Amino acid sequence: MKYYFKTEQMSVGYQGKPLIQNIEIGLNKGEILTLIGPNGAGKSTILKSIAKQLKLIAGAVYLDKKELAQMSGTELSQRMAVVFTEKLKTELMTCEDVVATGRYPYTGHFGILSKEDYSIIEEAMELVHVTEIRNQDFTKISDGQRQRVMLARAICQEPEIIVLDEPTSFLDVKYKLEFLSVLQELRIKKGLTVIMSIHELELAERVSDRILCVNGKYVERFGKSEEIFKNGYIKSLFGIETGSFDEENGSMELEPAKGNADLFVIAGGGSGRSTYRKFQRERKVFITGILYENDLDFPVARALAAEVITARAFEPVDKVVLEQAKRAIDSCSQVICCRKQFGSLENANKELFEYAYKSGKVADCK
């Protein structure tokens, strides 16, 4: 298959010594590739090698059938933009001055900006919401603002492909979401291809067309997000031994309390998650149910409860499951009900609550 961006038997490393070998990547124009893996796994090394900041140990990188090694610096800067975590060295430059440097690959030897250049600069600053700080000293702004200014600078280059190393590291939740939305908008409107590393796994899963998994010695997996985030693979890739990460829901939970359960939680529809996590913080052991396997509470319950009494989704609750839940209530000294009311299809949990109420064990969910 012919790809817009591809690598062939690419090996990367330092001083002639390979760190990760035989990296094979193929991307269509306008796709977003995210690199994930533990700290120090080699993600930045791969990105720097793609961007020609590090010399390849072996293999080749191609952009639209042309090898990057054969491109001049000017041609590469017009086709590829790079945003890395290293701080740009500036002296007496405003944020707008920094953004404007993204136009230099197009200005020739004299570096004179045209009206069209200024229009592109303005549009880029508006896209990432840095217009209001355009006249501030670049060295005096926050890390998050600096990251957005650097993205505006990269957008100014009007590249075909952009390479970013941990671009969301210094951004708060608002700007993380806006930043990734900008990338998606650019890929749709301008066919921008994106290659980046990112720590936030839930964001990587949502924004990526393809994901490259790096473990420090080699590339373990390369594929679509639905092929990567399943079957406990992330736990294996990151060596998670304490707590849990649920690939299906992007839910990360701390280690549950251990011991014999003395609390039973009736929840469902997302009503129990805050209580589950409260009990985890308080190191209280609990049982919960009856939860359908597709319930919003289920991923958190599975991670934190000593036992989860479950029912098959879209099926009536079996009497055997209901009796199992009643026996669990009998073994506990207190029942917490997180539901204010029960829907027409929740007769089993309504009966369970009435059973607990008659036993005098029901306490408020607080």
pLDDT at 275: 96
Query: In this predicted structure, what is the pLDDT of residue 268?
Result: 93
Confidence of residue 87 (pLDDT cuts 50, 70, 90): low
- Residue 115 and residue 98: Cα distance in Å, rounded? 17
- Tokens representing residue 313 in the block: 């989704």
Band of the pLDDT at 331, cuts 50, 70, 90?
very high
At residue 120, the pLDDT reads 92
Q: What is the pLDDT of residue 81?
A: 93
Rounded Cα–Cα distance for residues 3 and 61 (Å): 11
- Count Cβ atoms below 10 Å from residue 261 Cβ, excluding itself: 19
Choose the weakest-confidence range: 39-48, 108-117, 189-198.
108-117
Mean pLDDT, to the nearest integer, of 221-247?
87
For position 31, what pLDDT does the model report?
95
What is the mean pLDDT of the segment spanning 305-317? 93
Residue 366 predicted with pLDDT over 80: no
- pLDDT band at residue 217 using 50, 70 and 90 as cut-offs: confident
Query: Which residue from 21, 105, 94, 26 is spatially nearest to 61, judged by alpha carbons?
Result: 26
Would you state the pLDDT for residue 327? 96
pLDDT at 60: 95
pLDDT in tens, 253-310: 999 999 999 999 999 999 999 999 999 999 999 999 999 999 999 999 999 999 999 9
The answer to whether the CB of 307 falls within 8 A of the CB of 287 is yes
pLDDT in tens, 339-355: 888 988 889 999 999 99
Average pLDDT in the chain: 90
- Asked if residue 71 lies in contact with residue 125, where contact means CB atoms within 8 angstroms, the answer is no
The band of 88, judged by pLDDT with boundaries at 50, 70 and 90, is: low
pLDDT at 190: 86
